[in-house]
Amino acid sequence: MKPKILVTREIFDEVLDFLGQHLDVESNQADIALTPEQLRERLADKDGVMCALTDRIDAVLVNGCPRLKAVCNVAVGYNNVDVAACTSRGIAVTNTPGVLDETTADLVWALMLATARRLTEAEAYLRHGEWTGWYLKQLLGVDVHHATLGIIGMGRIGQVIARRASGFEMEVIYHNRSPLPAQTEGRLRARYASMDELLSRADFVVLQVPYSPATHHLIGACELAKMKPSAILINAARGGIVDDAALIDALKRGTIAAAGLDVFENEPKLDPGFLALKNVVLAPHIGSSTRVTRLAMAMTAARNLVAVMTGAVPPNLVNSK
């Protein structure tokens, strides 16, 4: 008998085919989000789950699923999973690192360029028929080239973002738990800075840390106050790293110039305060959303799941069982 697994959201046919070769698959191709109760019911007799970052895999859930041996998240972040609870039950937890770095970095750059050049505001102006002709001071933005880029969290994605900055001849500073090796800094032309220096110097502050209790509201009123009035904040990492209410207040009062956001504290609910602001570019958590990358993420999660179900060590294990 093949191990029984649940795929909580719609996935690509080729991934479903791969899983079906090895496992007894129940999938949710209708893509109707499961409530916590439905998830618990459907997982009660399963050996593994391939889940999305929108599924809460908490202690209550895993304790109600006696057969569960693998939780394979289709995301690099896994703050939706109670890893400690899984570990204590001997459940393997996996993620999808690496395959989304370039695509997510592209989206960060899209947000930087769109906020700096007021692109969504300009488009709305056109769509609303407000354009009556060219004039000198129309929709003045700020330059990205030769500006200072400050990256908080210099892991894989942070480094890819930094690499792209050389094309714009930017100065790159970064803050991290620990400085990168000198050789990597040299290759990226990036310099380590304290959090205070980064916040006060950077024209673009890009957040690229994972979400955890330690990074909850890493950027709040106090940090926003340290940024330049001309600075732009970019968050395509996780909601909750930024205190959304404090950010809305700073954007309203002009204590920072603008923000480009792909993630929000209570997503998919958006604080209505954002919608009233012109100096914010908003996206619905699409950082990794290209076909190639989302397929690679799903396939990575599927390989992890098949590995655990067949007794092998999964390539992207985040806990030690």
Provide the binding-site residues for ligand DGY, judged by CB under 6 A. Answer: 53, 75-77, 100, 287-288
Instruction: Output 75 or 309, the one with its CB closest to ligand DGY.
Output: 75
The secondary structure of residue 217, as a DSSP letter, is T
Annotation says 238 is catalytic = yes
- Shortest CB 218 distance to ligand DGY, Å: 16
Q: Looking at beta carbons only, is 116 or 218 nearer to ligand DGY?
A: 218
Tell me the closest approach of the beta carbon of residue 280 to ligand DGY, in angstroms: 19
With respect to ligand DGY, which residue has the nearer C-beta, 77 or 220? 77
Annotated catalytic residue: which of 26, 171, 197, 267? Answer: 267
Instruction: Identify the three-state secondary structure at position 227.
Output: coil
46 vs 238, beta carbon nearer ligand DGY: 238
Q: Which residues of 241-251 are buried (b: 16+ CB within 10 A; e: fewer)?
A: bbbbebbbebb
Strands 232-235 and 258-261: parallel
Cis peptide upstream of residue 268 (ω within 30 degrees of 0):
yes
Beta bridge partners of 280: 259
Q: How far is the CB of 15 from ligand DGY (least distance, A)?
A: 16
Secondary structure tally for the chain: helices H, strands E: 13, 12
Of 94 and 288, which CB lies nearer to ligand DGY in the complex structure?
Answer: 288
175 is a catalytic site residue: no
Sheet containing strand 190-192, strands side by side = 190-192, 171-175, 148-152, 204-207, 232-235, 258-261, 280-282
- Which of these is catalytic: 9, 285, 294, 303? 285
Q: Which of these is catalytic: 9, 118, 238, 294? A: 238
Tell me if residue 267 is catalytic: yes
**Burial of residue 1 (number of CB atoms within 10 Å: 0-12, 13-18, 19+):** exposed
Least spacing, CB of residue 12 vs ligand DGY, in Å: 15
Q: How far is the CB of 136 from ligand DGY (least distance, A)?
A: 40
Catalytic positions, please? 238, 267, 285
